[in-house]
Amino acid sequence: MANRVVEKIKKGLRGELTIPGDKSVSHRSVMFSALGDTPVRITNFLPSADCLSTVGVMRSLGARVDIISPTELVVTGNGLHGLREPETVLDAGNSGTTLRLMMGMLAPQNFVSVFTGDSSLHKRPMGRVIKPLSLMGANIAGRAGNTKLPITVIPAAGRLQGITYEMPVASAQVKSAILLAGLFADGTTIVVEPYTSRNHTELMLEAFGVELGYKGTAISLQAPEKLIAPAEIIVPGDISSAAFWLVAASVIPDSELLLKNVGINPTRTGILDVLQAMGADISLLNKRCSGSEPVADILVRSARLHGTSFGADIMPRLVDEIPAITVAAMFAEGETVITGAGELRVKETDRIQAISDQFNKLCPCITATEDGLIIRGGSGHKWQQGTCFSYDDHRIAMTLAIAGMAGSGVEIEQPDCVAISYPDFYEEMMKLY
Ligand code: S3P
């Protein structure tokens, strides 16, 4: 694939952008609808490579997915106990969410399923899901001591048993896998997180009539008789996609950008808190609800940012936004210290390493630590044009693009991975030039 050159932008970002559908909610909308027995119309679906991996997997398991338009699907399942044995290997592509959640859904089934994925997904840790599912009685075999793809899920000896599981790391994917297995388990399934991660699974299970119990950061459920599918799911816009424009408009002088239809679920809005703590000029307008998810239009204007510090407690609320926040910190006066971000080392690539290796080429002000980053930003630095590698990681590619736009330009190697979460990213970016 050809490199992509992003020129420095010579004017402020002005106008409005409609933010595409949320990746996490899009995945779940298809998965959960496939467990109902009535058609669900899904609108503002994100037609990205990751979400299409989920569509492919659910079709292989017998769900009917009619694609009405790229952003509108109708999904019809065969009921909670209606999944059927797939005839082929299930390919999760680049998508950790597809793989981890589906392992939870398939562990209780009485058929064999085999998972694969791309080279990045083969490197990512799956033991964090296999371990609790095995404690419930699941029979899962993976490479490298049951931690890596390819993975085979074999029928368990009997029904899975509910457990109480204290998660060592806050992770919505692990939490969701356990809750999905709990839909089929005897007794009560309880997951306890060190900090609350995104709660889209909980909200959507409730929209499908499942009762959940909450106590502190513990969530419990019992197997329901069936899921009662809603007629419609309206996917909110993805704040993780809005993140690039929030940062770009904050640091590029003379910007005023309206980002329309952004999900503002409080388990996802850590980036707004951090940017506001750095002095960003952000207003939430027209707050409303999109099904069970809150949304707003976000007006962002350029501002003089200053450094900040944050750590483990806010991390689950902004884990995917650290690359974008790093660019904000590179332009902010003073030091930004990010700790408690060790999970970044096991994302689509090691994002701590990727950020320090690539962004330092554009402006040498970043030090990587074991579990975070120290960024000494501000006007004292001179930005230069550079050729930077995306590691085929969508969020690194998009962050490089905004850094190039705001800094002195960039040439991105392997730029096309933006299709994983934001297929129209470069087209949207070009509208702003
Ligand atoms: C996601 C959870 C997060 C996030 C990922 C999507 C989800 O991962 O990084 O992009 O949809 O549940 P972890 O659960 O591993 O933190």
Q: Is the CB of 171 under 6 A from ligand 1?
A: yes
Concatenating the DSSP letter of every residue in 406-422 gives HTT-EEEES-GGGGGT-
pLDDT value of residue 297: 98
Q: What is the DSSP letter of 79?
A: -
Ligand 1 atom 11: the closest Cα is on which residue? 24
Give residue-wise pLDDT tens across range 287-307.
999 889 999 999 999 999 999
Phi first, then psi: give them for residue 275, nearest 5 degrees: -65, -40
Q: Which residues are identified as catalytic?
A: 320
What tens digit of pLDDT does each residue of 274-288 get?
A: 999 999 999 999 999
Q: Is 24 in the pocket of ligand 1 (CB under 6 A)?
A: yes
Q: Give CA–CA dist 288/378, Å, rounded.
A: 36
Cα of 267 from ligand 1 centre, angstroms = 12
Task: Please give the DSSP secondary-structure letter assigned to residue 186.
Answer: B
Q: What's the CA-to-centroid distance between 253 and ligand 1, angstroms?
A: 32
CB of 255 shorter than 6 A to ligand 1: no
Mutation pick for ligand 1 pocket among 29, 95, 319 (CB with most ligand atoms within 8 Å): 319
CA 315 to ligand 1 center in whole angstroms: 11
Distance (angstroms) between ligand 1 centre and the Cα of 96 equals 8
Question: What are the tens digits of pLDDT across the range 56-98?
Answer: 999 999 999 999 999 999 999 999 999 999 999 999 999 999 9
pTM of the model: 0.98
358 CB under 6 A from ligand 1?
no
Contact 426, 4 (CB under 8 A): yes
Which residue in the block uniquely carries the two structure tokens 């030091």?
335
- Residue 263, token pair as written in the block: 């999900």
Distance CA 426, CA 244 (A): 12
Domain ranges across the chain: 4-20+236-431, 23-234
* One fold for 4-20+236-431 and 23-234: yes
Ligand 1 centre from 170 Cα, in Å?
10
Residue 50: pLDDT band (50, 70, 90) is very high
Asked if residue 178 lies in contact with residue 191, where contact means CB atoms within 8 angstroms, the answer is: yes
Q: Are strands 113-116 and 90-91 parallel, antiparallel or unpaired?
A: parallel
Rounded to the nearest angstrom, the distance between the alpha carbon of 333 and the centre of ligand 1 is: 31
Tell me what pLDDT residue 84 has. 98
**Cα dihedral value 129, 316, 261, 427, nearest 10:** -80
Q: Could you tell me the distance, in angstroms and rounded to a whole number, from the CA of residue 270 to the centre of ligand 1? A: 14
Using the atom order of ligand 1, give the atom closest to the CA of residue 240.
Answer: 10
User: Closest by alpha carbon to 336, among 360, 368, 308?
Assistant: 308
Contact 193, 279 (CB under 8 A): no
d(CA 362, CA 402): 12
Mutate to test the pocket of ligand 1, among 197, 204, 398 (most ligand atoms within 8 A of CB): 197
Q: Which atom of ligand 1 is nearest to the CA of 346?
A: 15
Q: Is the pLDDT assigned to residue 261 strictly greater than 90?
A: yes
The overall average pLDDT reported for the chain is 98
Class of domain 23-234: alpha beta
List alpha helices for 313-416, DSSP H: 322-331, 351-362, 394-406
CB of 320 shorter than 6 A to ligand 1: yes
Mutate to test the pocket of ligand 1, among 171, 176, 351 (most ligand atoms within 8 A of CB): 171
Segment 157-185 mean pLDDT: 98
Q: What superfamily would CATH give domain 4-20+236-431? A: Enolpyruvate transferase domain (3.65.10.10)
From 48, 103, 173, give the residue whose CB has the most ligand 1 atoms within 8 Å, as the site to mutate.
173
The pLDDT of residue 164: 98
Instruction: Give the whole-angstrom CA distance, residue 209 versus residue 318.
Output: 29
**Which residue, by CA, sits nearest to atom 15 of ligand 1?**
171
Does 405 contact ligand 1 (Cβ within 6 A)? no
Candidates 45, 6, 3, 70; CA nearest to 429 is 6
Answer yes or no: is the C-beta of 44 below 6 A from any ligand 1 atom.
no
Q: Would you say residue 37 has pLDDT above 80?
A: yes
Find the distance separating the first CA and the last CA of the chain, reported in whole Å: 24
Res. 224: pLDDT tops 90: yes
Q: Is 103 in the pocket of ligand 1 (CB under 6 A)?
A: no
